[in-house]
Amino acid sequence: MNKLMITLVSSLLLAATGTALAQDNTPGERENKVRHQQRGAQVTPAVTQLMRALKRLDLNDEQREAIRAIRGALKADVRPIMKGMKAGQLQLKELVNADSYDEAAVAVLAGKEGDLTAERILLTSRALSGILGLLTDEQRAELEAMAAQRKEKRAQGREQRSGKS
């Protein structure tokens, strides 16, 4: 009986250890991934969603190359905007931590942030329009069907969550 118990406990420990090791997350790695995803989502969530959906479409080589070029140009155009936004956030942090609050300086930073955000939105919407312009009518219809399915799934998830409360 003792040998059986030792064997069972050892097996369970090995299985649990194997499962933990299979996850391959070092401490802090999960938090970094989440933080990176949040930052990326802040940049261009619409582009990220569209890229995921486009992977499911049957694109030809010309479409893939054109989309790759548009995305590359968008990244190059958005990079300086994001650097400017990051610099503004650091300046805001300094202003907030200062001994006296300078509302005028914060207002100037907020205006710059708004301008950068507007520019980012314009660049992103132009890129999205260019990408969608490359699709055939059938591909657009399939994309719309995927969006409808996603919307329905989200509604069902909300319904289930509200039912559990």
pLDDT of the chain, 165 residues: tens digit per residue: 666 666 655 555 555 555 544 554 555 555 555 555 544 434 567 778 888 888 888 889 999 999 999 989 999 999 999 999 999 999 999 998 888 888 898 899 999 999 999 999 999 999 999 999 999 999 999 988 988 888 898 888 888 888 765
Angle between helix axes 103-133 and 61-97 (nearest 10 degrees) is: 170
Helices (H), 29-102: 29-43, 45-54, 61-97
d(CA 101, CA 120): 29
Single pTM value for the model: 0.63
Q: What is the DSSP letter of 58?
A: -
Burial of 47 (0-12, 13-18, 19+ CB in 10 A): buried
